[in-house]
Structure 1
């Protein structure tokens, strides 16, 4: 029987997320596994892992906001915005800690910026980092992220460690470059750790109940439960809540996700067993 499992692993630095997943699969002796939220090779920290049919749940999990602890190397110039390709290091006098704290606080709010060229963004089907490594010219579209908190942890010049809570899809490497720019110099991250993704934190790979992490309101089906269990066509009038939206439905240890819209009711996920 296929092993269904949801848990949080801790990826070490200097390892690609896919290679780390391969290790996990071998350790647990499973064939089907996936992760949510790729971590850069130099980064470490929280990585949400699912086995078996639970890999279908990623899109429905509450994975934001995310909190990171990062160390910014002030004066370092790197096209990757991290220590992978540091090309030059500029010297400067140390900043007053109050000035640093003020700049970090100024990061809170919405920020529109360009993602790193060395990122997993796709350009015409190709990853941006592959194009960048091949030295090909391309442009990335600006994105907007919300920074909920940004504060100083410690500052030992030229290394500035801060914690940032940011919306899903945000790039802390780019945020580090923006912080350095506000201080008047280049900068690149020398360390990056993801502390959490929403309520997901590392706890020795403890098995988690997916229902505790679904980012969906619960709805009730008022007609014959076998309609859903057998994947029959549904009508919105048979739901306790029939307003437009995406809902989770639990019937006999089976999870379904449906979308109610002006066009009717559509299955987004049908009869997934919640048993491990």
Structure 2
């Protein structure tokens, strides 16, 4: 079975553990996901099964939208509720102060990702190394914060939404928000991914891969048997001859081609719709 769909990962399990549950549910051996969520987080995961696992790099997965609740004054190495060390008592802020701090995060940011994250260090997840007591350093990263929105402020908890570029660490964003308010510590008590690009959770309904690809469609005017069976195709038989990736509709399957320097090569051949 080939299938592309959006699933909803619950909190407190890894993305891989959740994927294995889905593989058993759908009786599939070959499956993968796009955009790892660490165990603390819940929310949207784009799942591919069968040959649809090959499509991830051609999907529009950015920007991403997250909802999070920040606990102001809560100190935790994991920047969430897993490892709370102590909680500072703080005076209440005005809603305008919180809104101003949130707005100040918009734009380009450089920051350190949390050590308890899904980032890979020499093939291992950072959160696994951190839990094992292994010392390591993470390089600063850059992210774009397109929009921030205050959902509620019930001191000391700030719930907000952030629309961000791929690879943004929302727990670090929460700490930065606390710092912008003049607070030394801040940890998330909740983190949810609402969407990845155009993909939202909709009860695991199968997605139309022809509408999900983030590359333009092209057309082949030569012998359809050539592209059907993966034979060499000539540039003159392709309508749009500009360099780039394209998908071609073959009826019950699609092909992805790459045009480069007047040559056409298959990037993916015969990805069946289902």
Taking structure 1 as the reference length, what is the TM-score of the superposition?
A: 0.93
8 Å CA contact 2:23, 2:29 repeated in 1: yes
2:250 matched residue in structure 1: 251
Point out where structure 1 has 5 or more consecutive residues left out of the alignment. none
Paired residue secondary structure (2:5): strand
2:144 matched residue in structure 1: 146
- The Cα of 1:137 is off from its aligned counterpart by 3.0
User: 1:29-40, aligned counterparts within 5 Å?
Assistant: 29-40=27-38
2:13 matched residue in structure 1: 15
Paired residue secondary structure (1:180): helix
Moved more, 21-30 or 189-198: 21-30
1:223 matched residue in structure 2: 222
> In structure 2, what is the Cα distance between the partners aligned to 1:265 and 1:114?
42
- The Cα of 1:236 is off from its aligned counterpart by 3.0
> In structure 1, what is the Cα distance between the partners aligned to 2:232 and 2:142?
39
- Structure 1 vs Structure 2 CA RMSD: 1.6
2:269 matched residue in structure 1: 270
Paired residue secondary structure (1:115): coil
Residue 50 of structure 2, aligned match among 21, 43, 52: 52
2:168 matched residue in structure 1: 170
8 Å CA contact 2:241, 2:262 repeated in 1: no
User: 1:68-217, aligned counterparts within 5 Å?
Assistant: 68-185=66-183, 186-217=185-216
Moved more, 262-271 or 87-96: 262-271
> In structure 2, what is the Cα distance between the partners aligned to 1:62 and 1:126?
26
8 Å CA contact 2:68, 2:160 repeated in 1: yes
2:63 matched residue in structure 1: 65
Point out where structure 2 has 5 or more consecutive residues left out of the alignment. none
8 Å CA contact 2:235, 2:262 repeated in 1: no
Paired residue secondary structure (1:92): coil
Paired residue secondary structure (1:29): coil
1:4 matched residue in structure 2: 2
Moved more, 85-94 or 233-242: 233-242
| Alpha carbons of structure 1 residues 80 and 235: separation in structure 2 relative to 1, 3 Å | farther
> In structure 2, what is the Cα distance between the partners aligned to 1:127 and 1:236?
44
Map Cα deviations across residues 221-258 of structure 1 (whole Å, 9 max, x no partner): 22222222222233433321111111111123221111
- The Cα of 1:122 is off from its aligned counterpart by 2.4
Map Cα deviations across residues 15-53 of structure 1 (whole Å, 9 max, x no partner): 222222222222222222222112121211112122211
Paired residue secondary structure (1:241): coil
